[in-house]
Amino acid sequence: MCVFSGWRCSVADPTSAGVLYVVATPIGNLDDISARALRVLGDVALIAAEDTRHSQRLLQHFGITTPLQACHEHNEREQGGRFLSRLLAGDDVALISDAGTPLISDPGFHLVRQARAAGVRVVPVPGPSALITALSAAGLPSDRFIFEGFLPAKAAGRRARLEALREEPRTLIFYEAPHRLLESLEALRDTLGAERQVVLARELTKTFETLKGLPAGELCEWVRADANQQRGECVLLVAGWQAPEGDEAVSAEALRVLDLLLAELPVKRAAALAAEITGARKNLLYQVALERQSK
Ligand code: SAM
């Protein structure tokens, strides 16, 4: 027996229960749907869709007549029980969102969790996702990256989130709505610095696909000067933090403390105190302090 939000379900009998397929759909170009996705969407008994009217158009385009039922962020927890009943009764169900991979800044997490807890087999059918599509063509380091979803809509929350990411060395990836693009770029410039490299990946896989990489300050001006860049869907990718040249291994916080102390104390004393306060190596801070004084 498993329990979710007061809803009880029995645990699946693997021989008779259906399968929940998590199916990625295109983020613009319909040719990007996979042959396997089409086969699964045509074969299942039911499709759980974020917006049934939106997905109906996709299915119509491919001649798929499988019935759709809504599974969006407002009803997902309650509706989960209904989908689960169908799965436990032996029906296969496909989960799709409006575009890209379900659960990635899209509904589906609760249903997948409920299904797995009930012992239902969950099978991913991979395909497009805007963040991976953007990363694959942005030209920023892709060996390590973090996906931050959408930044908070309010300015204070947005800045606080970015402040916390100031010294993040991995490539940062954000989703953004077009009407907030400029504000977010300005916040990136103000918190991470005008020189930080940012790539705007807009309208991926569509007619007006644009990938533009510039330092944050210049990208703000480029977007401000062209209203077309403030339309459509976009992903922002930001180069990870790198210690300024010659200051390797010295965190921004240690540099801040060092600069404050250098304004009041001789170099040696400032370096020693900064090392004690921040835990950075004294010799390294001394070298950095000498370099900063000679500039
Ligand atoms: N589940 C989707 C995925 O796997 O990418 C993401 C859904 S999220 C609600 C929508 C956001 O994804 C948009 O605001 C935008 O940031 C990004 N996005 C989706 N399609 C895009 C595209 N064609 N070009 C650029 N960004 C896109």
Rounded Cα distance between 255 and 222, Å, is 31
Is the CB of 229 inside a 6 Å radius of any atom of ligand 1? no
Cα distance between residue 277 and residue 258, in whole Å:
10
What pLDDT does 5 receive? 52
Dist. CA 21–CA 18, nearest whole Å: 10
pLDDT > 70 fraction of the chain, expressed in percent and rounded: 94
Question: If you average pLDDT over residues 140-157, what whole number do you get?
Answer: 97
What are the C-alpha distances in Å from 261 to residues 25, 35, 264, 266? 55, 63, 5, 8
Q: Is the CB of 28 under 6 A from ligand 1?
A: yes
Q: Is 210 close to ligand 1, i.e. is its CB under 6 Å away?
A: no
**Region 132-153: what's the mean pLDDT?**
98
> Is 256:278 a contact under the CB 8 Å cutoff?
no
Average pLDDT over residues 120-124: 97
Q: Which residues 6+ apart lie within 8 Å of 246 measured at CB?
A: 287, 288, 291
> Is the CB of 101 inside a 6 Å radius of any atom of ligand 1?
yes
Please state the rounded mean pLDDT for residues 29-44.
98
Minimum CA distance residue for ligand 1 atom 19: 130
Q: Is the pLDDT confidence value at 3 over 70?
A: no
Average pLDDT, the chain: 92
Q: How far is ligand 1, taken at its centre, from the CA of residue 177, in Å?
A: 9
Ligand 1 contact, 50 CB (< 6 A) = no
Confidence (pLDDT) at 120: 96
Q: Hey, what amino acid is at 237?
A: L
The residue whose CB lies within 8 Å of the most ligand 1 atoms, and thus the one to mutate among 234, 236, 237, 238, is 234
From the CA of 133, how far away is ligand 1's center (Å)? Answer: 10
Q: What is the tens place of the pLDDT at every residue in 63-94?
A: 999 999 999 888 877 777 899 999 999 999 99
184 lines ligand 1 (CB under 6 A): no
d(CA 286, ligand 1 centre) in Å: 47
Closest atom of ligand 1 relative to the 150 alpha carbon: 16
- Residues 6 or more apart from 22 whose CB is under 8 A from it? 94, 95, 101, 102, 103, 108, 112, 122, 123, 124, 125
**71 in ligand 1 pocket by Cβ < 6 Å?**
no
Q: Are 42 and 49 in contact (CB under 8 A)?
A: no
**Span 169-186, average pLDDT:** 97
- How many Å lie between the centroid of ligand 1 and the Cα of residue 70? 20
Contact 204, 27 (CB under 8 A): yes
pLDDT level of residue 124 (50, 70, 90 thresholds): very high
Report yes or no: 100 and 205 within 8 Å, Cβ to Cβ.
no
DSSP category for residue 254 = H
pLDDT in tens, 193-235: 999 999 999 999 999 999 999 999 999 999 999 999 999 999 9
